Amino acid sequence: MKKKNRKKEFRHNQKDKKVVPFKIVQPYQESFDFGLDWEEEQEIEEQLRLLQEKNPDEMAVLVRQMILDVQKEMSPEEFQLVQKDLGIEDGFLEYLQAMSEKDSRVRLSKLKELVSLYPEEYRFQLGYLAEKNDFFTPESYVEIESFLELTMKEWKNTGYAGYSKEVAVDMLEGCCVIITYYLMTGFYRKALHLVEFVLQKVGMDLPDGFEILVLATFNTNLALEKLVAYAKTLPQDDEIVQLQLVMGYLLAGDFAQAQSLFNHLAAKNISIAALFSAPNWIDVFTGGEIETDYPIGDIDLILESLNLLYPVLSTRLLLQIQLTTFADDYLIDYSPIGLKDMSQAGNLLAETAHYFTLLNAPEMAGIRMDYVRILFHEGDIKKVSDFKKKTEKQLLALPGIGKGTIEKLKQNGVVFKKSK
């Protein structure tokens, strides 16, 4: 995985989540006569509210279409009045239209223009930085620092509210973008300062996946005591937490404790030992082919959790070798049962590499990691060209895949098989 693409993985849950604010839905319902009685209106509003909570991406598509449909039926002057009544911010429709662009370059250009026109509009800034994929430039650093200043200003205005409060959702997701950027580009101390500030303000009221950023930040700063203390606040049987602890002890030079934890983890999930038994296991993050005598099961989430440590892991050859030694020792000493069957099952590491290649494809920008996983494992989408073999209806039948995901894939240039 290329460094500049790793950021996308940790913003898949963020990018489209708040494209459309829920506040415009109810005024929309109240502003137009659908010929419904009060109970029917209440039922529709409740369905919309549930949709916003369960599938924000699909909600965004629905409301965007509602707005654009209304716009088509009115003159510009009439629609300006409706826009004012609905409480739609200046530039918001342009933002929707920018996000609907299929060409990523056009999309990015329009978002950048919106940022220049509305520099104080936080959502536009967040959308632009989440869309960008060129992070290793002096310009990007200036943009992130400016975005950090705006984020702190906006978040302070909410009283530093937690993620459970809608007013602070965008700002905390913005913090995720900033922390990820710092980790990718080696500004580990900056990442640490921001992580600790967020934890101090909101405790555990955080966006999904923020704990991975915290663990990675403590590891990149070689802050073992902080890592161990924070890990105690998380589920103790969580494999991601345990593997981050293994990495923490390795980075601290405590190989004995690292191996003890590794053995405990491998006993729960043999695929972890199988992965690290490959001498070139680090190449899995760049989509490279890896050879091992043992198959790898579904450990995508575990691998994703290590992505932010890639800059550290890739430069520490001894650490790479030590993990392979741990794996070899475990497979020899602790797992004689089932190894014959495992070897007969074949090598699945190539499939894992294909998964990461798909995950980092430009066409997957803005698609949540769990949705990519569903498409890969249950939809049999192993590469972008496989979409041409599937109809939209086939993919909509997959659990969790809604119209919002399909719409986003189309915007990214994905072509589906035509329905007969």
Residue 342 confidence (pLDDT) above 70: no
Biggest CA–CA distance in the chain, Å, is: 77
Is 356 a member of any domain? no
The string of DSSP codes covering 99-110 is: HT-SSHHHHHHH
**pLDDT in the model for residue 118:** 83
**pLDDT in the model for residue 294:** 59
Could you tell me which residue, 184 or 187, shows the higher pLDDT? 187
Residues near 100 by beta carbon (within 8 Å), at least 6 away in sequence: 64, 411
Residue 240 confidence (pLDDT) above 50: yes
Is 65 a member of any domain? yes
Is 376 a member of any domain? yes
Residues 243 and 330: their CA atoms lie apart, in Å, by 15
Is 385 a member of any domain? yes
Could you tell me which residue, 232 or 32, shows the higher pLDDT? 232
Query: Of 30, 53, 88, which closes a domain?
Result: 88
Is 101 a member of any domain? no
Query: Of 32, 59, 88, which closes a domain?
Result: 88
Residue 78 belongs to what domain range?
A: 1-88
Beta carbons of 305 and 243 less than 8 angstroms apart? yes
Residue 90 structure tokens: 């200046």
Residues 265 and 253: their CA atoms lie apart, in Å, by 19
How far the first Cα of the chain sits from its last, in Å, is 38
Residues 122 and 145: their CA atoms lie apart, in Å, by 14
Beta carbons of 193 and 163 less than 8 angstroms apart? no
Up-side HSE of residue 320: CA atoms within 13 Å toward CB? 16
Is 346 a member of any domain? no
Residues near 80 by beta carbon (within 8 Å), at least 6 away in sequence: none
pLDDT grade for 264, boundaries at 50, 70 and 90: very high
**pLDDT in the model for residue 247:** 95
Residues 150 and 93: their CA atoms lie apart, in Å, by 22
Query: What's the structural domain count of the chain?
Result: 2
Residue 38 structure tokens: 């009060």
Q: Where is mean pLDDT largest: 3-17, 27-41, 328-342?
A: 328-342
Please write the tens of the pLDDT for every residue from 25-57.
443 344 333 444 556 556 656 665 665 566 655
Query: Of 22, 56, 88, which closes a domain?
Result: 88
**pLDDT in the model for residue 214:** 96
Could you tell me which residue, 345 or 183, shows the higher pLDDT? 183
Is 122 a member of any domain? no
Residues near 409 by beta carbon (within 8 Å), at least 6 away in sequence: 363, 367, 387, 416
Q: How far is CA 70 from CA 64, 83, 93, in A?
A: 10, 10, 12
Residues 146 and 206: their CA atoms lie apart, in Å, by 23
Residue 408 confidence (pLDDT) above 60: yes
The one-character DSSP state at 162 is -
Residues 10 and 130: their CA atoms lie apart, in Å, by 10
Beta carbons of 98 and 110 less than 8 angstroms apart? yes
pTM of the model: 0.64
Is 69 a member of any domain? yes
